[in-house]
Each structure stands twice: as structure tokens, then as C-alpha cells.
Amino acid sequence: MASHNGRIKVSREPRRQLNNRPAWITVDDGLTERECAVVDVSPGGAKIVTEVEFSVKDRLALTLLADHSRRHACEVVWRRGKTYGLRFVMAEPVAEPAEAASEPAGVE
């Protein structure tokens, strides 16, 4: 009787290999922008590599397209030299002031 190891297969999000596709990271509240390369990306995050190792805080913005139209807010999950693991952070909804949400009827 063959014995099987008790390994449990961990289900991961589907990843798309991007083969070092150029992208841009923005740190310091938009003051510093650096080019990077995206190694792979999934719905929950990305793995990037920079040319030079530099100090990155816990949050940054990642732009995947050259036109810089959409920046993805990211949290740095891990760092290994010039390679960074990022998790996409969903924007928190902005609550409307109570006055604007409940205007009295008949006010012009």
C-alpha cells in the first residue's frame, strides 16, 4: 500500500506572466516616480523589479500603462533586494456629509 504525503495544495489566484513589462511606481505622495518592471500580476497584486534598490515605504502607486491614466494603490507585502511583492489596496469609499445626503424637501 502506497503512502501519500499529507500535502495540501494551496489554491492561488491566477497570475499572468508579463516578462518584465515596463511600469512605473510613484512614492512619497506623488513626488518620486521610478520605472520598474512587472514580472507577474494577479487580481490581488503584482511582483515588480527595480533597477536600483531603494527605500520604499509600505504604500505606493503602480501604473501599468505608459499613459499614466490609472494608478493602482498598493501595499508592499515583501521585499527582497530589488524585487517587491505588492498587494492592490481597494480605495475606501468616501462618506458624504450628513447634510448633503438628507436635504429637506421643498428647499430651493
Q: What is the residue extent of each domain of the chain?
A: 16-88
The per-residue pLDDT of the chain, averaged, comes to 77
Residue 30 has pLDDT above 80, yes or no: no
pLDDT at residue number 9: 65
Mind listing the pLDDT tens digit for each residue in 39-61?
A: 998 889 999 999 988 777 789 99
**CA-CA distance, 58 to 60, in Å (whole number)?**
7
- Asked if residues 49 and 20 have their Cβ atoms less than 8 Å apart, the reply is yes
pLDDT digits (tens, 9 = 90+) for 59-88: 999 998 877 678 899 999 999 999 999 999
The matching CATH number, chosen from 2.60.40.10, 2.60.15.10, 2.40.10.430, 2.60.120.260, for 16-88 is 2.40.10.430
